[in-house]
Amino acid sequence: MTLRLSQLLLFLVIIAQSGQARIVRIEIGSRQSPAFEGRVFGSVGAYEKLRGKAYGELDPNRPQNAVITDLRLAPRNARGMVEYVMDIYILKPIDLKTGNHRLFLEVNNRGGKLFGGLNNSMGGNDPTTAAQAGESFLMNRGYTLVWNGWDPSAAATNNNLTISVPVARQTDGSAIMGPSYEYISFDNATSASYSLAYPAANLDKSRAVLTVRNRLQDTATPVPADGWEYVNDRTIRLLPAGTTFRQSAVYEFAYTARDPIVAGIGFAATRDFVSFLRYAKTDDVGHPNPLADDVQYTFSYALSQPARYLNDFQTLGFNADEQNRRVIDGMENWLGGGNGIGLNVRFAQPSRTERNRQNHLYPEGVFPFAYPVLTDPLSGKTAGRGAACSATNTCPKVFEINSANEYWVKAASLLHTDPKGNDLPDPENVRFFLVSGAQHGTGNATSQGMCQQLQNPTNAEPLLRALFVALDEWVTKGTQPPESAVPRRSDGTAAVAIPQPGSQTGLVPQADLGWPTIPGVAYTGLITTRYQLDFGPDFARGTIGNYPPTVTDRPVYVTFVSKVDPDGNEVAGIRLPPVAVPVATTTGWALRRSGFGENEGCEGSGQYIPFKTTKAERLSVHDPRLSLQERYQTHANYVEAVRKVAQDLAKRRLLLEEDVQKYIRTAEASDVLK
């Protein structure tokens, strides 16, 4: 090849790259090698820790980026690109040849790492010691673990991963202004001020409205102008100075904000970071890709907020990079519900999430919810979460895993039904799982917090590990995964919610659910209602004009939860040993106690309602649930029942053998009928 031809080819490559969204520079600020005090992870060997920053550029004119709200209104560099910078964090085998050549991306939650439960380790934002590595489910298998900042609202503290994105401006350089909304509720009586997500466009109180109501179902009452003030353009407080917000009351603040950030860049940041690690050899200035020529498969894990992020990541087409290569091969989404995240809108607040009594009326639960392309009879729109990746042949294999709480408070049934609540067949690339009777995460069975009952300790992590192994085998070997396990209307396991007109919640009738009347336990059937909200005529382009929207006279999507057995435990989904061999009733819903909005929803909490030990004890309080003695007779029988259920779950590839043994040892050590 002649020198002139070589120069021409290099020029063409540079020209081609100049039009691509990509990571242009990667800086490793610190390298700890070996990490974890030199601990060796089986045949994989020692790991090293890399921390740094990645600098990215986006071309607003490329079709793959056109979906990002306000990207064309962001400032550009001399090459016409929009810049961003994010934190990155990598845990990799020192010798990549000994790893399994698979990338594990944890999409962080508000900047924090939550992989510890899945990994059987202590987790934390900067795991350092050998002890913090714990049992190292992932490292012992040779995965390279990576994280990147994507959430522009994440606090830059405690080793959080952050991203810096630009502020959008009008084409003439002036500030963009528009409606913004704050849902304010403190479960304490000490908060005297509130920080706004975006600065107020002006401090004229006549252009803002603050309302309050003690209970969610009450009519909101305006707080008079002499009852509050702006401290500055980012803070409000009640008057007279020192007045605190009422404990657990619901305040809502609507105002005109300015300077929206281009938050949707957070989707492209993950796309381009994973694509860089998977496909690039160096960055634009010659810094080496620390994973160059190693990554054969990519997986993601997300817990709660980032699972909703990945739902929208797919919907918006970000699982294809700019060369239409698949970004993530397999996704394990835990606790995402039937929602997105509301990141790709003007004045986005991605830290918000709706539950029975918090953060209503944000653009989180909007059509499409399910993967197949459907026509929404309420809005007339046609869309599906899987439409974009189907068009580019870049769909990942996906496990959508949810607790019972997500069905009660986040409309998870919409993931696998049409808008009228009819069951849908599973897409070829997606499976759905309900963790029966679980709350949002693992609760403390010795504490009730602000709820009426003890929290639900059902721990889904053993199931998540087994399903992650099944996901890996599905992606890398083509092994068919376990079948979906969720409530279905077609098999009679679904209890349908009844919306309450004008209310932000609905009800599941006790008889329809099959809920027993348990002494000392209130049942209201409270469930979040998913409305087809009107955010204004420009919402399809990411601009909210009607904020907050109203629920009055708005149509409702049909949602449902799992029916329960005579004990109150759910019949659908994956019944882990604490549910299949119960010592208590465990639920995904809970109610608030007095002083905290009594009998309203207790957010992500569930309940743990123990059985009585003997028949005489339960009859004395009229408890309809059988006692431990009536169920198992002896401690040995209880242990054997746990063993049988755990081993059956393992046969179905829903538990790993090491977790089967842990369940058995826990049962043996328990005081059940000892």
Q: What is the 3-state secondary structure (H, E, C) of 543-562?
A: CCCCCCCCCCCCCECCCEEE
* CA distances from residue 501 to 153, 249, 412, 505 in whole angstroms, order as listed: 34, 22, 21, 9
Q: Quick one: DSSP state of residue 482?
A: P
Q: In whole angstroms, what is the distance from residue 427 CA to residue 630 CA?
A: 43
635-651 vs 461-477: helix axis angle to the nearest 10?
20
pLDDT at 184 > cutoff 50: yes
* CA distances from residue 426 to 38, 397, 423, 430 in whole angstroms, order as listed: 45, 12, 9, 6
Centroid of chain to Cα 440:
10
Q: Which residues of 352-364 are buried (b: 16+ CB within 10 A; e: fewer)?
A: bbbbbbbbbbbbb
pLDDT band at 154 (very low <50, low <70, confident <90, very high): very high
pLDDT at 496 > cutoff 70: yes
Q: In whole angstroms, what is the distance from residue 364 CA to residue 380 CA?
A: 19
Amino acid at position 668, single letter? E
Contact at 8 Å (CB) between 559 and 411? yes
Q: What string of DSSP letters covers 234-258?
A: TEEEESSTTPPPPTT-EEEEEEEEE
Q: What does residue 311 show for φ and ψ, rounded to 5 degrees? A: -60, -50
In this predicted model, what pLDDT tens digit does every residue of 417-441 receive, in sequence order? Answer: 999 999 999 999 999 999 999 999 9
Q: What is the pLDDT of residue 504?
A: 81
492 token code pair: 């009679």
In this predicted model, what pLDDT tens digit does every residue of 502-529 receive, in sequence order? Answer: 788 899 999 999 999 999 999 999 999 9
In this predicted model, what pLDDT tens digit does every residue of 404-419 receive, in sequence order? Answer: 999 999 999 999 999 9
Q: In whole angstroms, what is the distance from residue 135 CA to residue 41 CA?
A: 9
389 token code pair: 């990746």
* CA distances from residue 586 to 71, 117, 178, 434 in whole angstroms, order as listed: 46, 20, 44, 14
pTM of the entire structure? 0.96
pLDDT at 1 > cutoff 60: no
610 token code pair: 């123990």
* Signed CA dihedral, 267, 273, 279, 282: sign only: positive
Q: What is the pLDDT of residue 21?
A: 58
Q: What is the mean pLDDT of residues 531-540?
A: 96
Total residue count of the chain as it appears in this document? 674
Q: In whole angstroms, what is the distance from residue 160 CA to residue 167 CA?
A: 21
- At residue 97, the 3 state secondary structure works out as helix
In this predicted model, what pLDDT tens digit does every residue of 329-375 receive, in sequence order? Answer: 999 999 999 999 999 999 999 999 999 899 999 999 999 999 999 99
In this predicted model, what pLDDT tens digit does every residue of 570-583 receive, in sequence order? Answer: 999 999 999 999 99
Spatial CA neighbour of 404 closest among 593, 646, 586, 585 = 586
Percent of the chain residues topping a pLDDT of 90:
95
Q: Which of 127-131, 273-277, 498-502 has the lowest mean pLDDT?
A: 498-502
Q: What is the pLDDT of residue 159?
A: 96
Q: What is the pLDDT of residue 399?
A: 98
Q: In whole angstroms, what is the distance from residue 484 CA to residue 423 CA?
A: 12
Q: What is the pLDDT of residue 13?
A: 40
Strands 330-334 and 297-303: parallel
pLDDT at 228 > cutoff 50: yes
Q: What is the mean pLDDT of residues 252-275?
A: 98
In this predicted model, what pLDDT tens digit does every residue of 313-340 receive, in sequence order? Answer: 999 999 999 999 999 999 999 999 999 9
In this predicted model, what pLDDT tens digit does every residue of 85-129 receive, in sequence order? Answer: 999 999 999 999 999 999 999 999 999 999 999 999 998 999 999
pLDDT at 7 > cutoff 50: no
* CA distances from residue 626 to 516, 623, 667 in whole angstroms, order as listed: 12, 8, 19
pLDDT at 649 > cutoff 80: yes
Q: What is the pLDDT of residue 17?
A: 43
